[in-house]
Amino acid sequence: MTTVTGTLRASLADAFANRGSFWFQVAVMVVNDGTWIVFWVLFFHQVGTLRGWGTQDVIVLFSMLMTSAGAALGLLANSRRIGHLAADGELDETLVLPVGPLSHILTSRIDPANMGDLLFGPVLFVVAGDPTPERAALFVLGAVTGSVVLVGFLVACGALTLFVGGRGEQADLGFNAILIFASYPLDLFGGATKVMLFTAVPAAFVTGLPAQLVRSFDPAHAALLVAMAGFFAALGWATFHLGLRHYSSGSIWTR
């Protein structure tokens, strides 16, 4: 067993220790996600289609978002807490271990509530996303690349705290911005906002482009998604490791 899978198994066991609480939080998140689906159903019921997007397209977009967000914020829950961990000096306990610090930090905490997203996203796609074999394969591809982009982006934002200080506000702002923009169809936006969604806040690679890929396959788009996943994985890794050179110990060993 590798260190990463061992840490992940320990985190899962920790989250599962109180099964009642775990499943309650999962259930609450599923209800939460259901509210968004109700919103979109009501919205399209009143408005009709929106620049070619209908209810089913948005359901695919949402199932993609839930799956990616579930992986990034549920399975790798510390991806959005790098800035807070750095600000509180809590990286110490990882830095003394003979393991790659980033992979250990990412796998050492699981958020049960967001695991609800990871469970509900694929189920929603199967139930309401017209899952032909081709669409299902593209859904998996989009969810995997979207998860990698999201984790890479959140780690890079959190690592900014190592350079500029603060209490992790950069990660909070990045987290809020990417989730908001990823929750809406890409075609709603134009001009500078659309450019931003492909660059500074890469929400387009988390949901917009993957959802378009499920609607109509385009090999160039698929290749672009894979390339961007690689780019954001490298960006997160490089920003974190460069930032570590600026890290000052908090003298906190355990908490």
Partner 1 sequence: MSPYLAGWRLGFLRTLRSPGDLSVRIGFFAAILLVMSALWGTAIDANGGELEGYTRSSLLWYVFAAQTAVLGVRPRSVEEIGDEIGGGTIAIQMLRPVSVVGLRMSIDLGEACARMAAAFVAGAALTWLFAGPPPSATALAMAAPAIVLAAAANIASSHAFGGVAFWLLDAKSTWFLYQKLVFLPGGMLIPLDILPRPLEVVSLLLPFATMAYAPGRIASGDTNPLLLVWQMGWLAALIVLAAGVFAAGQRRLQVLGG
Cβ 58 vs Cβ 38: under 8 Å? no
Residues in a beta bridge with 53: 50
Please select the residue that binds partner 1; options are 1, 17, 47, 220, rule is CB under 8 A.
47
Nearer to partner 1, 144 or 177 (CB): 177
* Min CB(204)–partner 1 separation in Å: 14
Cβ 243 vs Cβ 105: under 8 Å? no
* Residue 29 engages partner 1 in binding (rule: CB under 8 A): yes
Interior angle at CA 138, CA 132 and CA 142, nearest 5: 140
* Residue 24 engages partner 1 in binding (rule: CB under 8 A): yes
Nearer to partner 1, 37 or 102 (CB): 37
Q: Which structure tokens are listed for 72?
A: 């990034």
Instruction: Characterise 130 by phi-psi region: left (phi > 0), alpha (psi -120 to 50), beta (else).
Output: left
Q: Which amino acid is at 214?
A: V
Of 47-55, 65-73, 90-98, 240-248, which segment contacts partner 1 by CB under 8 A?
47-55
* Min CB(36)–partner 1 separation in Å: 9
CB-based contacts of 55, cutoff 8 Å, min separation 6:
40, 41, 44
Burial label, 17 (beta-carbon count in 10 A; 0-12, 13-18, 19+): exposed
Task: State the number of binding residues for partner 1 (CB under 8 A).
Answer: 35
The pattern of x and - marking residues 162 through 201 that bind partner 1 according to CB under 8 A reads ----xx-x--xx--xx--xx-xx---xxx--x--------
Q: Which stretches of the chain bind partner 1, using CB under 8 A?
A: 21, 24-25, 28-29, 31-32, 35, 38-39, 42-43, 45-51, 113, 166-167, 169, 172-173, 176-177, 180-181, 183-184, 188-190, 193
